[in-house]
Chain A
């Protein structure tokens, strides 16, 4: 029965092993046949994840499963499923036919890493999970290695993750030095705000800030996002970032709860910097992938509003927002991916007049962008609103005001894309095409999520019942 505690990870490892075996025995010209079974297997894991099972800890407390971690895993698994659906069209391209199973293997490995990270009960496990989640991503970013930009993205990502891991480890080692343990439960009691611990926290924060791409540690983001294949970009900006944000929030609320005064100011300042600078850079972007990269930096700044709320409301809202963010950003990236695969066009002005040729794609894109901007009745509005509420609960009205004004800047650039699609006319619009079934299914899930998650309040209440006692 102990196995069931780790069922997410074990099932994923099982799929990975099956895929590896199939990869060995399948002749090269039939590799494409692997896609559908892999998707079905993964979908099965996703659904199995929702069946309630035992919780508890393994390996002397290094690995912990709580209802909250289970829910976070389910959330990111849904996201990964959508990413898989959206990548099928791209995987079927001629140049990728050799590497189909690699794609699944690498992506599944990072997912396993993330799940271990979310379930970690001490810093060693946390670090292990984080590395497993990051290194395959570098390989994925360089997936189209024949393209210079993709290769560059891979190299940049591996360097940056090495650097940030180093910084993070340095911080962790200082924590170990002062506290003498790495278990979260025991570290909490040892943290008393000694100068070395504060330094350790700063290093830890900086290391995580690289992963979540918080200003001023965001400089790698745009280049990597632009260079990597669209689906990897969406994975990086949504799943990878979402998982990191969730575990980061939990660590701040639990392990570092005694030095709240310290990290609150740090979060306050970086939050303002992140959303403002992310927004200002997004204004000038023409390439949609870079555009969404900067917009996702700005979104991370908004998430910090929930963290600074430091309450159950804040914790619930951060998770809720990540869930909403997965659907909105994957919706936007999904459309970009479909169009990029069919036409190779990735710039905003390529989208001129898109509504008149491809109305459904345009509407999906519009809904996703409105959700990112926080326009009702789509889910993003509720997510943003609750984040603001969480910050206002602490009386930080000035921060809320700055954040709200930032949403206006954000609305401006999201509307620029809407303008291109709906308002502009073009002599050579992107022609009508019918996208493949998988992409359509992926986008349909996104749209359904966007519409339902906000208006149907039990989703929020469901998350809320697990976050009790975290902060």
Chain B
């Protein structure tokens, strides 16, 4: 059996296990056990993948299996991974593992909560291992729909509104993807004969430029909605702010990466000529995302809104780097996805824990928290420093790579865009340090804050996992970078023939 199938089977078994539990505690334990297995499986996949590559296996996709599903339409259940999908799988299993522990104290309908959460994660895993557009699309929708219930039932604030807005906007994005996908399908075999949804097969076809130009916007904007591309990012701040902790973590940490990954794997990879032609439009939009998100974060008082806008900025950087079409920048884009995924999950986990103790998320209502909850406060500082790109953490590695790659373009347009986007780093420093200064330092401003206790064991579990992730990448980025570069080969070959 293919080891990748385990990534879908384990969540399903976990959900079945949850159905047989009797009380809240058992639900939590079963979920935690399931996701621990998931994390172990992912680790095995990563190590195995590296070992295979080391042993000289140069197949484009490893662990590939291809099952026929709908014979008449030639729809296959086709799975396999390259360096990039393996990295995303690692990220996802880390975030969902941390997410389970971060939602240890959910007591309203816990069974349904963990079921939806794990169902969502299985959609994400399925998306990352799919090599067939049909299954990819199917898993995409499986990942989006539980979101509605998760935000609507367990969220805070205007949760009904946010949940509806998020679901409809993301489904709107998927509607565009569907049109683009069908366009690819019916152009996948110009010579006649069976059409296909398989990505590696479509990549071999030279689709005429006019067709490419017609379908590229559908796919790029469709996935871009999920990647918070300006002006389609508006679901993100509301959604993240209303969602319960674990959902914000998964959503900002992993689900938004589906957008970046889709833009990379489907839009740009399969329609390279159109990508070259239309890149300038989307470069302008992504540059706006980057700087607008950063400036938006400065004005917010609500911790979750600050990080939601910061996510818009950072995810904008991912799309920005993908559109630079060179190996360095694209490498940075994938690194940024991983780095931002872990970092933002850490942020949202900490915000949830802080909110659970202080019952407010407004930074001007909190002060001096460092004295009462040193563990969470230090973790917050670490996340903040990683976010503003301090060397030693993952953020630095990723952003540095992106800007170095982007600056390789010598023309004015790319240079100006790069300089504007790079200036967001400064803005990031402003809003991160402002939060740290106002919230963590200073005097304790309310008496009840004296009684706050520091992180519980499950909080430490969640936070520790994620901090381990960002520092591991920050200190030893090369293994990740090599793994990604390895996967970039076919992409570069297709985008810049003859360069590699």
Contact = CB atoms under 8 A, between A and B. Distances in A.
A397 interface: yes
B2 interface: no
A264 interface: no
Contacts of B183: 392, 397
A388 interface: yes
Contacts of B152: 419, 422-423
B182 A397 contact: yes
Contacts of B149: 418, 422-423
A375 interface: yes
A412 B178 contact: no
Interface residues of A, number: 32
B186 interface: yes
Contacts of B214: 397
Interface in B314-334: none
Contact of B141 (A376, A389, A423, A461): A376
A50 to B, nearest CB: 22
Nearest to B164: A415
B138 A388 contact: no
A370 interface: yes
B148 interface: yes
Contacts of A464: 72
Interface string B134-150: 10001101100100110
A461 B71 contact: yes
Interface string B171-187: 11001101100110110
A392 B142 contact: no
Contacts of A386: 73
A405 B172 contact: yes
A404 interface: yes
Contacts of A262: none
Interface string A402-436: 00110110011001001100110000000000000
A68 B142 CA distance: 34
Contacts of B417: none
B29 interface: no
A4 interface: no
Nearest to A386: B73
A393 B187 CA distance: 10
Contacts of A376: 138-139, 141-142
Interface in B233-273: none
A63 B381 CA distance: 80
Contacts of B178: 385, 388, 400, 404
B179 A401 contact: yes
Contacts of B70: 457, 460-461
Contacts of A316: 72
B168 interface: yes
A392 B167 CA distance: 25
A313 interface: yes
A104 interface: no
Interface string A235-250: 0000000000000000
Given A370-B145, A376-B142, A381-B141, A412 B164 contact: yes
Contacts of A388: 178, 182
Contacts of A408: 168, 171-172, 175
B-side interface mostly:
helix
Contact of B73 (A389, A395, A404): A389
B179 A397 contact: yes
Nearest to A316: B72
Contacts of B134: 385
Contacts of B160: 419, 423
A449 interface: no
Contacts of A407: 171, 175
B153 interface: yes
A392 B179 CA distance: 8
B69 A457 contact: yes
B141 A375 contact: yes
B138 A377 contact: yes
Contact of B185 (A389, A415, A461): A389
Contacts of A392: 179, 182-183, 185-186
A420 to B, nearest CB: 11
A415 B72 contact: no
A404 B152 CA distance: 24
A73 B167 CA distance: 38
B197 to A, nearest CB: 10
Nearest to A400: B179
Contact of A422 (B69, B139, B153): B153
Contact of B138 (A381, A418, A423): A381
A377 B164 contact: no
Interface string B147-169: 01100110000011001100110
A464 B72 CA distance: 8
A419 B168 CA distance: 14
Given A313-B72, A375-B145, A457-B70, A400 B182 contact: yes
B162 to A, nearest CB: 12
Interface string A354-373: 00000000000000001000
A143 B412 CA distance: 77
B155 to A, nearest CB: 9
A423 B153 contact: yes
A400 B186 CA distance: 13
Contacts of A375: 141, 145
Contacts of A457: 69-71
Contacts of B175: 401, 404-405, 407-408
Given A460-B70, A461-B70, A412 B168 contact: yes
A389 B182 contact: yes
A127 to B, nearest CB: 34
A464 B75 CA distance: 15
Contacts of A397: 179, 182-183, 214
B426 to A, nearest CB: 39
A376 B153 CA distance: 21
Contacts of A415: 148, 164, 167
Nearest to A457: B70
A401 B186 CA distance: 15
Interface string B430-469: 0000000000000000000000000000000000000000
A419 B72 contact: no
A343 B73 CA distance: 46
B114 to A, nearest CB: 16
A329 B139 CA distance: 24
A152 B181 CA distance: 47
A413 B94 CA distance: 36
B156 to A, nearest CB: 13
Contacts of A370: 145
Closest A-B pairs by Cβ, 4 of them: A404-B175, A392-B182, A423-B152, A376-B138
Interface of A: 313, 316, 370, 375-377, 381, 385-386, 388-389, 392-393, 395, 397, 400-401, 404-405, 407-408, 411-412, 415, 418-419, 422-423, 457, 460-461, 464
Interface of B: 69-73, 134, 138-139, 141-142, 145, 148-149, 152-153, 159-160, 163-164, 167-168, 171-172, 175-176, 178-179, 182-183, 185-186, 214
16 contacts: A375-B141, A386-B73, A389-B182, A392-B179, A392-B183, A392-B186, A404-B175, A407-B175, A408-B171, A412-B164, A415-B167, A418-B149, A419-B164, A422-B149, A422-B152, A423-B163
Given A377-B138, A404-B178, A419-B160, 10 more contacts: A375-B145, A381-B138, A381-B141, A389-B182, A392-B182, A397-B183, A404-B179, A408-B175, A412-B168, A422-B152
